[in-house]
Amino acid sequence: MRLTFEDGTLLLRDYRKGEPVPPAFVWDDRVDMWRAQALFYRESLEFMRQNDADLNNTAPRYNKLTLELKSTPEPHPHQRDALEAWKQRDCRGVVVLPTGSGKSQVGLMAMARVQRSTLVVAPTIDLMNQWYDLLSQTFGGEVGLLGGGYHELQDLTVSTYDSAYMHMERYGNQFGLIIFDEVHHLPGEMYSHAAEMSLAPYRLGLSATPERADGRHVLLNTLVGPTAYEKGIVELSGDYLAEYRVESRQVQMVAEERAIYETARSEYQDFLSQRSIKLGSLAAWRLFVQLSAQSSAGRRAMLAYQRHRKIALGTVSKIRVLEDILKIHPRDRVLIFTNDNETVYEISRIFLIPAITHQTKTKERKASLEAFNQGTYLAIVTSKVLNEGVNIPEANVAVVLSGSGTIREHVQRLGRILRKREGKQATLYEVISKDTVEDRISQRRRRHPAYYAKVQS
């Protein structure tokens, strides 16, 4: 019989009755053949070997490579330990390390260890670009890209999760090793297909925060392998991460804003209390959304809700505080984070500093980040795109002007300024509108040991 890879699955062609069938295979009535998810390639092959099957294996199409780690720094002990632990688990599993502690380096070491065609999957175009640079610098030669307008496969290829999910049914047999960066994205309903439709026998997941609110991180055991190694942010602070402190700045909305805020707030609250709805649960929120589509009064209440939130997060007082912070740090490298792109561009126009959003083209983004690292620019304003893993070692001040309530986003923003450098002291400012909905948002996102150990007001 012949083992083939087709559309993200494995098929047994020319199968004769009585030949051994691995447990992952199921009879597919639609095509009259045995079929399995590509994910189970490695264990199916082992089963075939144990049962001395007469097998013509045409499924894998990846290559053996000779990758050499050139010009990379001597690995830190935690990086060496992480790789060792992963090797012990047959080169499958997740490595959990804080942002800024050199997770990508572990990825490079894994590639040099496995020596097979490798696909790196990253959540954003920025990170895809960054891995692209890293792989070309480290190993030389052509590196392929899948996503962000590129569709080009090489022995070493970098992809976004979106593209990996879309195209794995075609390319799932082209790689022996898959590295899932920020692997907490993988267990989603759709993205998990990217792991299932690949036959890669070697898999590595990297993350600072693998847990998901929906609990689906348990799926990583099957999709990538169990957690092989884990070290936390507090354990590595000082030794491998820069020293840091967190400062909270509370601002008062100006009088006109406060007036609009209160009017908007009572408008939606009146609407809700008349219907005995208390916001705070998902069910109550859904009901509010439902009601807002049923009557003009509901629609007005929803618009008022959005208005009051927007004012709290975007008060002009925050701009004043930002100016003060910039004056305190005239020679530091400052990253400014906001919740939405509109504010990013507003701040860019007010302070005449470069902005980076998902709309910024790859070339310009790269140039801006380089200029920032070299000191040609001293400040960059951004929304969500620099939340994860982008390499800006020189950044030492972060200003969170507004954000969501998620812990992950906040930890990642902090991580942007923690890359270790001699004598570096990092500061994270959090600017909050006093006595508004933002108090609650801030409390929610700070439920992480990296914060309550360090906050000063």
CA distance 223 to 192: 7
Residues 5 and 61: beta-carbon distance below 8 Å: yes
3-state DSSP assignment of residue 71: coil
Please state the closest distance from residue 109 (CB atom) to another protein, in A: 32
**Judged by CB under 8 A, does residue 197 bind another protein?**
yes
State which of residues 2, 14, 23, 31 lies at the interface with another protein (CB under 8 A).
31
Asked if residue 303 binds another protein (CB under 8 A), the reply is yes
User: Interface residues for another protein in 119-158 (CB under 8 A)?
Assistant: none
Distance CA 427, CA 233 (A): 16
Quote the least distance from Cβ 231 to another protein, whole Å: 34
> What SS3 state is found at 432?
strand
State which residue, 32 or 52, has the beta carbon closest to another protein.
32
Q: Determine whether 82 is exposed, middle or buried from the number of CB atoms within 10 Å of its CB (0-12, 13-18, 19+).
A: buried
- Under rule CB under 8 A, residue 379 binds another protein: yes
The C-alpha torsion from 394 through 396 and 401 to 405, rounded to 10°, is 100
Question: Minimal distance in Å, beta carbon 207 to another protein?
Answer: 24
By the rule CB under 8 A, 14 interacts with another protein: no
* C-beta atoms surrounding 443 within 10 Å: 11
Complex with another protein: residue 76 or 365, whichever CB lies closer = 365
392 sits near another protein (criterion: CB under 8 A): no
Q: State which of residues 54, 189, 214, 422 lies at the interface with another protein (CB under 8 A).
A: 189
CA distances from 268 to 208, 277, 298 (A): 39, 11, 8
CA distances from 373 to 197, 378, 417 (A): 39, 9, 12
Q: Minimum distance from CB of 215 to another protein (Å)?
A: 14
Q: Of these, 49, 70, 80, 349, which contacts another protein (CB under 8 A)?
A: 349
Q: Which positions from 151 through 170 interact with another protein, judged by CB under 8 A? A: 165, 169
Which amino acid would we find at residue 14? Answer: D
Hey, CA dihedral for 337, 104, 146, 144, is it positive or negative? positive
* CB of residue 352 to another protein, shortest distance in Å: 4
Nearer to another protein among residue 29 and residue 52 (C-beta): 29
Per residue, the 3-state secondary structure of 180-228, as one string, reads ECCHHHCCCCCCHHHHHCCCCCEEEEEECCCCCCCCHHHHHHHHCCCEE
Site for another protein, residues 311 to 330, rule: CB under 8 A: 323, 326-327, 330
Among 116, 185, 193, 231, binds another protein (CB under 8 A): 193
- Contact between 378 and another protein by CB under 8 A: the answer reads yes
Binding-site size for another protein (CB under 8 A) equals 46
Residue 345 as a binder of another protein (CB under 8 A): the answer is yes
Q: Does 15 bind another protein (CB under 8 A)?
A: no
Distance, in Å, from the CA atom of 436 to the CA atom of 311, rounded to the nearest integer, reads 10
| Rounded Cα gap, residues 118 and 91, in angstroms | 13
Nearer to another protein, 136 or 373 (CB): 373
- Give the one residue of 16, 17, 30, 278 binding another protein; rule: CB under 8 A: 30
83 token code pair:
């790789």
CB of 294 to another protein, least distance (A): 6
Window 280 to 299, contacts with another protein (CB under 8 A): 293-299
Angstrom distance (rounded) from CA 266 to CA 272: 10
Between 69 and 287, CB nearer to another protein:
287
Cβ atoms of 95 and 106 closer than 8 Å: yes
How many Cα atoms within 13 Å fall on the side-chain side of residue 178? 29
By CB under 8 A, is residue 196 in contact with another protein?
yes
Work out which of 218, 254, 350, 453 binds another protein, going by CB under 8 A.
350
**How crowded is residue 111: how many other Cβ atoms within 10 Å of its Cβ?**
24
d(CA 110, CA 84): 10
Complex with another protein: residue 66 or 294, whichever CB lies closer: 294
Decide: is 35 part of the binding site for another protein (CB under 8 A).
yes
Which tokens belong to 424?
């570096």
Site for another protein in 56-75 (CB under 8 A): none
* Least distance to another protein, CB of residue 353, Å: 6
Residue type, 356: I
Nearest-approach distance from CB 189 to another protein, in angstroms: 7
Residue 101 or 173 having the CB closest to another protein: 173
Q: Is 216 exposed, middle or buried (0-12, 13-18, 19+ CB in 10 A)?
A: middle
Task: Tell me, rounded to whole angstroms, the distance of Cα 29 from its chain centroid.
Answer: 39
Among the listed ranges 59-67, 176-184, 191-199, 438-446, the one in contact with another protein (CB under 8 A) is 191-199
Q: Is 376 in the site for another protein (CB under 8 A)?
A: yes
Judged by CB under 8 A, the residue of 29, 52, 54, 422 near another protein is 29
Residue in this structure with the two tokens 């996102």, named with its chain if needed? 445
46 C-beta neighbours (distance < 10 Å), count: 12
Binding residues (CB under 8 A) for another protein: these are: 6-9, 26, 28-32, 35, 37, 165, 169, 189-190, 193, 196-197, 293-300, 303, 323, 326-327, 330, 345, 348-354, 359, 364, 376-379
